[in-house]
A and B are shown apart, each in its own frame.
Chain A
């Protein structure tokens, strides 16, 4: 990481401080500055590019309380919420999602996500893959793959940004790793607080002195070489120049520049760990920051939202936590979708909302629901999908997929399709030199109902 002090900004957590750019394993690996400029030129300057916002509901959201209510189930399974009708005939969702219900024609609800490995981590949601038996270098996350294959949409903007803050549960804070595509494609993580190296004293105001910056970067490079702590430093170097000489990222993250009414519409949120204090905040500003980053040229933004691991008392029952989280998700997500539509971005930006697994049908003695990898739910919107439908179903008790089981990789295939990436063709070599497809395309294809 490189941290550079900049002009005073107020960032999306609302804390006024010296602004900084933390440039960690930036995304345009191997590209020269002229290439970056060409990339921008090729991408046009309108900001129109295919992109993804992934909302990771850290901890495993309760599928049966959100989008698949089981009113016919016995009381120990049914839960406390009632379903409400939506704009999609036959689709009912939780009463705490009235805004989603009102724009359900823009959503695709997947009720039958299967294939979870049951790991309490973002890994599978970020990569589509299971943690075990990874190829050399490790599976890359969606953002890293897109960074590798498509590069930045605009000069000075990283292709991949992870907004997750530092958390006590680090596996939830993981915004998606670079894996075998290389650290040059790791996410830019402005909220992680993980600056490993710092170029203290260099301000954005002084960046006109590129010679001086070069000297500092060379110095840093020597340190890095000694420590073997940075790979792909040339790419890193180039990205540092690209981002430092652009204010786009800082501007995108500076929500003080946004209309306060727009921030209010998103719900703002609180920049403190939700739930047990070890997970992501209910930070609705992140939804807005994601939209601004996409506008600035980022292709993939991931964010961790809230704490959904609701085992029950003494940390609140599943339903108390749902009453806390659901309305805020409802507000933030629908504000994002509405905003994307108003700005003409909804056909380009895919929004994916999910967690690592579902939760037990039976409510435990502490009013909680425990881990249930057998089935989960996901929400897709935008990106040109045929929205306004529900895919798959579960059995009467919400225990398993009854029809149309949808694997994590099918959702990844759909998102890659939305990005214009052909999963049947695109490969990236792992560290052993073996070409790896982005998904197991012999088994999994984009969801035919949506594309």
Chain B
């Protein structure tokens, strides 16, 4: 699957693959880059070593599929969100720290802030719930979504939370006030993936309509602090029929999107051009994640596998 030099500005080399016995919904690297976590419909999350893809720990106890797994900002804990309606916090050795309940339906997504100790979860009860990973306690419930919440993303400075879902709307929540700051509309169909750029200037949304949209989001002063519809900077048509996931590279230069039929695309953010588009899985890519060093990429799929890739610009 290596891209030949000259055929693409991006080289994608398979490093290794790991598998669950059922579909995989989430993948995330630890802040120190030594581990990655996977979330699966097999009711477990697993922690793997980046060095060789070996299994470090399996987190068991959820009563249904796990939709999300991620590391806290300090890297000491792992957070999972499950279809069993619970959010759990675990030690890196697999010990359960806390079981957070409150959602009234399947959880479809979760996210952990890169700063501070925020956790957010969302699901089929149309709610976003905020939790604190240090105190393992509920912080707030953000209501207003008109349908299931399918994706979440914190801004790098942990000032903002974006949520998206089946109502085709992106909601920007201000964490300080825990209030809705803005609604972004334009997707025709569910919003399936959200990611803020590391610098905070952009928000990327991936939709079931097969589009990747970039929204300007530099800072609070640059936008009208009102709840209103807002046109994206740009709408990019993916070569996937539907998109399911999106992630910025750590330097903000690239965007990776995952879609149906195992479609992976890498986009150059500066000129909004696709650098690579290829079917790398047998089924929908539910999650994409860049390693903190920016030179590795993980793709997690409904085909039960995670592929970890070397990724770099071709010469």
Residues of A that sit less than 8 Å from B by CB: 80, 270, 272, 274-277, 313-317, 319-320, 323-324, 327, 365
Contact = CB atoms under 8 A, between A and B. Distances in A.
Given A80-B241, A277-B42, A314-B108, A365 B166 contact: yes
Contacts of A275: 22, 41
Given A80-B241, A277-B42, A320-B283, A314 B65 contact: yes
B23 A324 contact: yes
Given A272-B22, A320-B283, A320-B284, A314 B302 contact: no
Interface string B6-39: 0000000000000001110000000000000000
> Which of A313, A314, A317, A324 has the most chain B CB atoms inside 10 A of its CB?
A314
Contacts of B124: 314
Given A272-B21, A324-B23, A313 B302 contact: no
A365 B123 CA distance: 15
Given A270-B21, A324-B303, A316 B41 contact: yes
A365 B166 CA distance: 9
Contact of B283 (A276, A277, A315, A323): A323
Contacts of A317: 284
B196 interface: no
B241 A320 contact: no
A275 B21 CA distance: 10
A327 B22 CA distance: 15
B43 interface: yes
A95 to B, nearest CB: 11
Contact of A323 (B65, B123, B302): B302
> Which of B23, B106, B124, B303 has the most chain A CB atoms inside 10 A of its CB?
B23
A324 B266 CA distance: 25
Contacts of B43: 277
Given A80-B241, A275-B41, A316-B41, 9 more contacts: A275-B22, A277-B22, A314-B67, A314-B123, A315-B83, A319-B260, A323-B261, A324-B302, A327-B282
Contact of B83 (A314, A320, A327): A314
Given A80-B241, A323-B302, A313 B108 contact: yes
A128 B284 CA distance: 37
> Which of B41, B42, B107, B282 has the most chain A CB atoms inside 10 A of its CB?
B41
Contacts of B241: 80
Given A313-B108, A314-B65, A272 B23 contact: no
A81 B303 CA distance: 17
| A-B complex: 4 closest residue pairs judged by Cβ atoms | A272-B21, A320-B302, A323-B283, A314-B106
B74 to A, nearest CB: 29
Contacts of B123: 314
22 contacts: A270-B21, A272-B21, A272-B22, A272-B42, A274-B22, A275-B41, A276-B41, A277-B22, A277-B64, A313-B148, A314-B106, A314-B108, A314-B124, A315-B41, A315-B65, A319-B260, A320-B23, A320-B260, A320-B284, A323-B261, A324-B302, A365-B166
Given A272-B21, A272-B22, A316 B302 contact: yes
Contacts of A365: 166
Interface of B: 21-23, 41-43, 64-65, 67, 83, 106-108, 123-124, 148, 166, 241, 260-261, 282-284, 302-304
Contacts of A80: 241, 260
A80 B166 CA distance: 19
Contact of A316 (B23, B42, B107, B282): B23
Contacts of B148: 313
Nearest to B283: A323
A324 B41 CA distance: 13
Contacts of A319: 260
Nearest to B25: A314
Contact of B282 (A272, A276, A323): A323
Nearest to B150: A313
Contacts of B166: 365
A124 B241 CA distance: 38
Contacts of B108: 313-314
A270 B108 CA distance: 26
Contacts of A327: 282
B108 to A, nearest CB: 5
Nearest to B241: A80
A340 B268 CA distance: 53
B65 A324 contact: no
B152 to A, nearest CB: 14
B132 to A, nearest CB: 25
Contacts of A320: 23, 260, 283-284, 302
Contacts of B283: 320, 323-324
A177 B80 CA distance: 42
A365 B165 CA distance: 12
Nearest to A319: B260
Contacts of A277: 22, 41-43, 64-65
Nearest to A314: B106
B57 to A, nearest CB: 19
Nearest to B67: A314
A270 B304 CA distance: 11
A317 B260 CA distance: 11
A312 to B, nearest CB: 11
A173 to B, nearest CB: 18
